[in-house]
Amino acid sequence: DLAVTVITAFLWLVSTLAWAKALADIKRSTGISIIPGIESCKVPGTTCHFASVTSMGALNVSVVFGLLNMVLWGGNIWFVYKDTNWHN
């Protein structure tokens, strides 16, 4: 049980960090910084405006809940460890 709990907590941490990195990349690739890279915006006499960004609050919350769930699994490691023979 202890090994499964440790592995699950570790994998949850890794997957949450991967999702947080992917979310940061999504935000960067859809933000205002992409305007200078658009070829049609470089044409003389053309003006490009960045109108709006879709709210990503729910995605931010998913990363926070992923980290909180990892903390929960980390806490569970202690209780599973106390049930092993290694804890006196």
How does pLDDT run across 39-58, given as a tens digit for each residue?
888 888 888 887 777 888 99
Cβ neighbourhood burial of 84 (10 Å; 0-12, 13-18, 19+): exposed
The tokens of 60 are what?
Answer: 């931010």
Closest CA to 69 of 26, 24, 11, 27: 11
How does pLDDT run across 4-36, given as a tens digit for each residue?
999 999 999 999 999 999 999 998 888 777 777
Q: Among the residues of 1-88, which ranges form H helices?
A: 2-29, 57-82
Mean pLDDT of 68-79: 92
